Amino acid sequence: MRRIQFFDTTLRDGEQTPGVNFNTKEKVQIALQLEKWGIDTIEAGFPVTSQGDFEAVQAISRAATKMTVAGLARCQKKDIDRAYEALQEAKFPQIHVFLATSDIHMKDKLKMTKDEVLASIKEHVSYARTLFEKVQFSPEDASRSDKNFLLEAVQTAIDAGATIINVPDTVGYSNPKEYGAIFAFLISNIKSDQEIIFSSHCHDDLGMATANALAAIENGANRVEGAINGIGERAGNTALEEVAIALHIRKDFYQCETGIVLNETKRTSDIVSRLSGMVVPRNKAIVGGNAYAHESGIHQDGVLKNPETYEIITPQLVGVQTNSLPLGKLSGRHAFRTKIEELGYTISDDEVKKLFKRFKDLADKKKQVTDEDLIALIDDQVRSEEEVCHLESVQLQYVSNGHQGAIVSIEDEKGEKSIASAIGSGSIQAIYNSIDQVFKQHPTLTNFEMNALTSGEDAQAEVRVTIEDEVTHEQVNGVGIDFDVLQASAKAYVQASSILKSKGAKS
């Protein structure tokens, strides 16, 4: 059976989602879960873009033991050198070089002629090949490129030493029939002494990213690129979990196998959703909250008689868990650590110690600490360690039918406290105005979401915010969790402001 390789770009193209910013620790956490899920290659970042991206690629290179670690580079020597430097410690390094080949990108964006594009591919793929054994080339916007020129570009890359050819449907313009035909055409026309891996890279602008990836596989692609939960630029990338399960459930049709550990799918999706702040819609295929729920009478009757009447996938296949080990205030350290490991985290004794103390404080306030509470606690701990500034306290003066007043105290990285007060037409606005004073900022709040982590009166509130810098228009997310909705709102806003501040300081 043909083996399909999985190339995950959650940390590169996925991070191109507006508002998504992973810190290095979060990137390593996601990378290790992806390795557990069984991907073959991770695109850990685009090292030339920032010191943060560079360091994250370095950290993932050190942490990965089985998977190949790739870095993206334009056809520019400095990009390739920076990727080489970042991937020094990777056991299995790979570079991914790209250059657009469609008329519109060459003429209006790159301002290069076809000959210049071919010369640049030759020069930069050859250069990359002097540093890396595995070189991947992507003709960006391939699906809108002239097919004969696309072949010429791909052949140039292969002649220069590329052994992996990725064919991007950069703007999600293609459909399965057309996209599959591009693979059939390229595969039957390229000349090479070496085995060439053909790979799909699709975007979901017309809702066809998964269908297009599967069409590529039907037409000879043996690698698929995408991101968990389909996150990514604009409408996102191919959702890799959809391809993995489709290939498994329809093995009769596709006749392919993968290295994906299917029962790690839900856990992988959950981690990416939490750390990216991109909530998975309930009706999302494979990992959505409703994907295994049966609402109507006729369906429920059928499922009770034989689940296969309406269920093509079992929740167990993708690792949807039932709560096997409930934790409460009488639980001990062993059960706590076991539960954390069950949830997929690998943490040091030191971290267990810190978390256990916070868990006990939480358990004093709640009858039962759920998986959601624990995951939120761990994520909050990871994020707070990276935060430059912390919310120390919030004080509110509430007036019915009037302006609300807030005083906030925020501690910076040196332990210095700043206090500010402001009014607002609501309590949250008053708090946010005070925080803006401390950070000397005027960002736009572009998203505010509040959810209860669990049901019941003792549920913790989770607040997610996105703020946009008034000058750079960079968007960053913040998450805050607390029993009190106003405190959770303040924490989320301080976290986002703190990330914006550290980004400003680096640039």
Ligand X SMILES: CC(=O)SCCNC(=O)CCNC(=O)[C@H](O)C(C)(C)COP(=O)(O)OP(=O)(O)OC[C@H]1O[C@@H](n2cnc3c(N)ncnc32)[C@H](O)[C@@H]1OP(=O)(O)O
Ligand Y SMILES: CC(C)C(=O)C(=O)O
CB of 348 to ligand Y, least distance (A): 35
CB 4 within 8 A of CB 222: yes
Applying CB under 6 A, does 280 fall inside the site for ligand X? no
Q: With contact defined as beta carbons under 8 Å apart, do 2 and 251 qualify?
A: no
Residues in the chain, how many? 507
Can you name the residues that pair with 225 across neighbouring β-strands?
A: 7, 201
Residues contacting ligand Y: total by CB under 6 A: 9
**13 annotated to a ligand binding site:** yes
Q: How far is the CB of 139 from Mg ion (least distance, A)?
A: 12
**In the complex, minimum distance from the CB of residue 172 to ligand X, in angstroms, rounded to a whole number:** 11
Nearer to ligand X among residue 16 and residue 368 (C-beta): 16
Residue 13 near Mg ion by CB under 5 A: yes
Helix (H, G, I), strand (E, B) or coil at 84: helix
Shortest separation between residue 421's beta carbon and ligand Y, angstroms:
46
Torsion angle, alpha carbons of 54, 55, 59, 60, to 10: -30
Q: Least distance (Å) from ligand X to the CB of residue 141? A: 8
Q: What is the DSSP letter of 108?
A: I
Is 201 annotated to bind ligand?
A: yes
State in angstroms the smallest separation of the CB of 7 from ligand Y. 10
Residue nearest to ligand X (CB): 74
x/- binding map, residues 69-98, to ligand X, per CB under 6 A?
-----xxx---------------------x
- Fill in the per-residue mask, 402 to 441: x = in contact with ligand Y (CB under 6 A), - = not in contact: ----------------------------------------
Q: Measuring CA to CA, which residue among 455, 439, 450, 445 is closest to residue 488?
A: 450
Is residue 237 marked as binding? yes
Query: Are the C-beta atoms of 26 and 14 separated by less than 8 Å?
Result: no
Number of Cβ within a 10 Å radius of residue 477: 24
Site for ligand Y in 134-173 (CB under 6 A): 138, 140, 166, 168, 170
3-state secondary structure at position 81: helix
- 327 by Cβ neighbours in 10 Å (0-12 / 13-18 / 19+) ranks as buried
Q: Which of 304, 299, 287, 198 is nearest to 242 (CA)?
A: 287
* Among 18, 25, 49, 448, interactor with ligand X by CB under 6 A: 49
416 with 438: CB under 8 angstroms?
no
**Any contact of residue 40 with Mg ion (CB under 5 A)?**
no
| Residue, CB closest to ligand Y | 168
- The answer to whether 227 and 236 have CB atoms below 8 angstroms apart is yes
Interface residues with ligand X (CB under 6 A) are: 13, 16, 46, 48-49, 74-76, 98-99, 109-110, 140, 170, 233
Interface residues with ligand Y (CB under 6 A) are: 13, 98, 138, 140, 166, 168, 170, 201, 203
